[in-house]
Structure 1
């Protein structure tokens, strides 16, 4: 069996996605997710202009060899564009291997280690009543854990609050990337945030009791000492995790945070290589790995990373909002089902329009996500439907402080 073509499909049903379709001489096809939110066309060009021709004539079953070839032969390694492109190839080859074997990918990874994946949903509100209603809706949907985000007095537009009108006058609706030629400018005030967030969790615990697993995303906006302060302030409310509290490129910074708080920490959605996690894992400075298969080079390297993490009792918490396509989500669900140290899976659910372009076989029942038993990854691409939704330029927002300084978003 040989690869005869590698085609890139860019489509925008609700939001932009980049998909790689690999075809073999026996007519077997595989899909991979190469979506990089806000920089989609950079990855599409990387695949079309630099990778596709290198795949033609290769044996699709040689997944490890192909991964190493694409990673090492470029010389300029790592980075989100490169690793998203490599991820798409890797996923597509696993998809092909599963179809040829007539098995779902999780069976090729060792079989199921659990019945299904526990998920967390995204609840948010502009005030406490709206937040409580959002939590109840997510519990009714079946989620067993809830990420809690709330508006903050004094901040006009805040990440993660779905119903909040943004600076542009639009609403998030779980998609912060605004379509248009310029990113939206938002505001930020760390001190106001640090004052308000503990009061929100105090109210949520009083309303929903001690048993509900609660999570919160800091979205890289704090310094290490600010993050430590927040983690300590949230200890009475027993969070499942506190996520991305500070930019983690400086891995050693988490020593300070860990020293001051016992609140569990989750990190890594912007990481794209195992080296980004090395100190965090070996010194047990985090509790959950947030990497996404789509931005981390695919199933192959993420599986290896989780093997290392298991030795340090660190679990998975793979990044899974709707800027990961159904193909990328499926890849993570297959991996999460198979590894022993699975922790939790972020799950928002894609739009109806997205699910007409991508037809996934995964199910969400009784609070558990399962990839299904369709051979391969279990996602089909309707290329005619994809063509009906052309690419639309979109940017994630950015932040400025009150004095005009650009801040982390």
Structure 2
């Protein structure tokens, strides 16, 4: 790993396996500290496989079984909520992914069957792994919502926030980067798109911003010659040398184009280059990483732990980005974070721009010792699949606001929020699948 590849990655990355509870001795003498990577590929895989086996959910916090008695899928037109109740009457609720249409939700019946009547303390075992043909974003998104509802219920039961159920709270305050305006940054002239970004900055108050590259509809293309290069240069001039800037390629580049644009980013002192090659072209991704100094981010569209295993073991990225919804919840995402930590890599989850994505991110990152310095933030959008805002109240009494680009993780029990009961009542429990 190149030493100068670390300018963006948080200096707070700590002790690899020590923070995950895996003793160094259990994995052999080669691994001495975070960032050391054995030359033998099989040894790297062995280390990662050992980490994945370790439980995430803190079962020890609960002295007796918590049996999942009911699981309800609630629907209002295109929008879905999941509500769970334990045999003792504890309740949890979570908002579904706004982009998943009604045709994908019938699979939820099978997911329910896996969890109903089981002890919620065994959440690690109940959340599906990589075996079989299950997986993919629609399936994983439904698993994630059920998991979030269970974490909400379990947190409510012992009056602890969701983050404390998957680890120790190490990040009660989280710095964010502004990651919105995909369409505007890729299609409008740079002068116009940057004016919109400047207005968003008044709300986010972020100290880091993500630009977007490409947009011509073909690999290495653009909707005007030199538009992306102009955007990247103007952004640096507009926001100054103190602003941390990154860039997302949105799968718009070949390996050759990814390196070429990466060198432009390096010229203007950008701090990361994200998802530049098309999804699934992992050899091309590694080729780009090996040809540049700038840190490489990837993983937002991944749905299997085994893929992150390959990316990390083969040193094909610097920062992993599992989306808590697309990837199937916080349990699975924490396993990825732990794998990354073994070799000194950080985690900066991708956030879907629907529902309560930023809320789930905050709880998850609160328990990640190897979280990146800045986390993605798409403003305070709680838009559901019907285009309405999800009305919520924070249990701590303090609404989440951005204090100079820093968000406070909710401290109330479970997910830390109460969804307006009148909004919930509009959603009716599905009986027919």
Partner of 2:38 in structure 1?
A: none
Structure 1 residue 76, shift from structure 2 partner: 2.3
TM-score (norm 1): 0.76
- Partner of residue 335, structure 1: 364
What is the number of residues matched between the two proteins?
347
Partner of residue 261 from structure 1, selected from 268, 272, 292: 292
TM-score (structure 2 length as normaliser): 0.72
Partners of 2:111 and 2:282 lie apart in 1 by: 32
CA distance change for structure 1 residues 192 and 2 in 2, over 3 Å: closer, same or farther?
Answer: closer
Q: 1:224 to 1:333 in 2, by over 3 A?
A: same
1:41 maps to which of 102, 107, 112: 102
**Is the counterpart of residue 376 in structure 1 residue 376 in structure 2?**
no
Cα distance in 1 between the residues matched to 2:93 and 2:104: 15
**Distance in structure 2 (CA, Å) of the matches to 1:10 and 1:346:** 29
1:360, 1:80 → 2: CA distance? Answer: 29
Structure 2 counterpart of 1:137, from 174, 194, 199: 199
Matched, 1:294 2:325: yes
Query: Is the 1:358–1:380 contact (alpha carbons within 8 Å) kept by the matching residues of 2?
Result: yes
Deviations 1:52-101 (A, max 9, x none): 2443322222211222xx447x8423222222222222222222221111
1:189 CA displacement: 6.8
Indicate yes or no: 2:205 matched with 1:148.
Answer: no
Distance change (3 Å), C-alpha of 1:274 and 1:360: farther
For residue 389 of structure 1, report the CA deviation from its aligned partner. Answer: 8.4
In 1, Cα distance between the equivalents of 2:258 and 2:175?
27
1:8 aligned to 58, 73, 84, which one?
Answer: 73
- Quote the offset at 1:137 in angstroms: 2.2
- For residues 20-46 of structure 1, what are the alpha-carbon distances to aligned partners after superposition, in whole Å with 9 as ceiling and x for unaligned? 211122221223454272x43244211
Checking the alignment, whether the CA contact within 8 Å between 1:22 and 1:92 is kept in structure 2 is yes
Q: CA RMSD in A?
A: 2.8
The 2-side partners of 1:81 and 1:356 are apart by: 21
The residue aligned with 1:56 is: 116
Matched with 2:376 is 346
Question: CA-to-partner distance for each residue in 1:301-339, whole Å, 9 max, x for gaps?
Answer: 11111011012222122111422x21x432321120111
> Aligned in 2, Cα 1:34/1:312: closer, same or farther, shift over 3 Å?
farther
Structure holding more strand per residue: 1
Q: Distance in 2 between matches of 1:306 and 1:249?
A: 20
Distance 2:279 2:265 in 1: 20
Alpha carbons of 1:329 and 1:136: their partners in 2 closer, same or farther (altered >3 Å)? closer
The structure-2 alpha-carbon separation of the partners of 1:76 and 1:356, relative to structure 1 and needing over 3 Å to count, comes to closer
Equivalent residue runs for 1:115-134 within 5 Å: 115-121=172-178, 122-123=180-181, 124=184, 126-134=188-196
Q: Unaligned stretches of 5+ in structure 2?
A: 1-65, 429-433
